[in-house]
Structure 1
């Protein structure tokens, strides 16, 4: 009988959301907006709320019908519904879909990729909050245009690869998304109007420093345990190292060491490779 693969993505999401809720009281996985805030774990929840508030400033004032594409665990939808909006969520993960139904029971949840989902328009807003980068560039906006009501808008808050983006196989260049130049060419070809655009790269980048700090704590704990074993249980340590080298390739070990014990993935590295935008697009 074939061995079932471990759902590492679902496992990671489960752990990430549990940690986020423990730290902030909410199941959010998006960046924080650190304008004027001290970058520390105690302020992470505040920074995430500031980010969400900035997204909401791109929405119409009157209650409207919103399609939340890639709606995470439903925290954004829950807030939108409390503001009087009608919300439908598109989410491909079964685990996240279950969290959406729990956190935003009034929302309609489409458990599918945006490409395959079949929500019934029209919608006043198609919202991408850190989900645009996961949808093929030539499909996301085009499908939104088929779902928008007259006078509707597409709101995008996401990371784009800047012109200076450099991939690193060991360091794993932080950030990503669609190349910014290709995105701008698409917007121009579709004759969309960019009615709002703000660059918040500098304000979200500190989230990377906070995340890296957490990994460094884990790395420090591992180093301390390894040092104690070297001093008091050298034979057991040698066996564990032998097993470790056979379970993981040298490249993966180097990448993990980079992640846990170094600080090259930082706000400056993020800002050099990425452009983080909040945009409102409207049909001409």
Structure 2
């Protein structure tokens, strides 16, 4: 029997969702829409609800059959069900699929990638809410075309990399997603028209500072412990330092330091490297 690897992604999601639920009362890891709001942890829920309101404005004002692709922990699906929509969720993570069933019991959950999804349309809406970046660019939109009902829409909200996205081999650049130029080319090659498009980079970018603030609090605590050990238990401090160098490469230590002790992951850096788009698309007549 082979050694079982730790599922660090599931552990990270579990911790992240638990923290956000403690802070906001909802298992929602989406960016917030910060227009008119002070950027503080206390306003995170209000910012996330403002984001959802803006997203839902692109949906029909009548009950619709919606495919929520990459449905997170089911918070969006729960709200869609409350509005009278019929919802199916595609989510590959067993952990998130479990949370979807708990948070949106009225939705049908498909525990698979969108690439492997074999459900039947037609759907009035194919919804990508910060999930499009995890799906191969040549498949995401084209597969939706085969699932949409006549007059149906693709509603897409996600982060894309700007043309000048600066990848750093040592320090992680905040943001991500598909290169926006490649996305534009893929969209232009398909029989789709843009019904609406809004650049909300400036309104969503402050979200990264809320996350960074949490890491800085952790970093401050670890720095205090490190200082006390160095002063009062130098032998233990030296041993732990050696162990850390053995376990983590120089690159990983640099990234950990960046995450815990710096503020380089901020709204300005995010906006310089990324663009956040909220769009509604329809099959071209």
**More deviation in 160-169 or 105-114?**
160-169
Task: Supply the distance in 1 between the matched residues of 2:169 and 2:94 (Cα, whole angstroms).
Answer: 30
Cross-structure match for 2:163:
163
Task: Supply the distance in 1 between the matched residues of 2:119 and 2:105 (Cα, whole angstroms).
Answer: 17
Cross-structure match for 2:154:
154
Given that 1:157 and 1:278 are in contact with CA atoms closer than 8 Å, whether structure 2 keeps it comes out as: yes
Check if 1:122 corresponds to 2:122: yes
Give 1:171 deviation, angstroms: 1.9
Unmatched segments (≥5 aa) in structure 1: none
Task: Supply the distance in 2 between the matched residues of 1:187 and 1:272 (Cα, whole angstroms).
Answer: 23
Cross-structure match for 1:58:
58
Give the aligned length.
284
Task: Supply the distance in 1 between the matched residues of 2:41 and 2:190 (Cα, whole angstroms).
Answer: 42
Cross-structure match for 2:27:
27
- Give the alignment's TM-score, normalised by structure 1: 0.99
Structure 1 segments of 4+ aligned residues over 3 angstroms from their partners: none
- Give the alignment's TM-score, normalised by structure 2: 0.98
Give 1:227 deviation, angstroms: 0.6
Q: How does 1:74-89 map to 2 (within 5 A)?
A: 74-89=74-89
Q: How does 1:84-233 map to 2 (within 5 A)?
A: 84-233=84-233
Give 1:250 deviation, angstroms: 1.0
Unmatched segments (≥5 aa) in structure 2: none
Given that 1:170 and 1:258 are in contact with CA atoms closer than 8 Å, whether structure 2 keeps it comes out as: no
For each residue in 1:82-104, what CA deviation from the matched residue of structure 2 results, as whole angstroms up to 9, or x when unmatched?
00000000000000000000011
Cross-structure match for 2:17:
17
Give 1:57 deviation, angstroms: 0.4
Task: Supply the distance in 2 between the matched residues of 1:258 and 1:225 (Cα, whole angstroms).
Answer: 18
Task: Supply the distance in 2 between the matched residues of 1:15 and 1:209 (Cα, whole angstroms).
Answer: 18
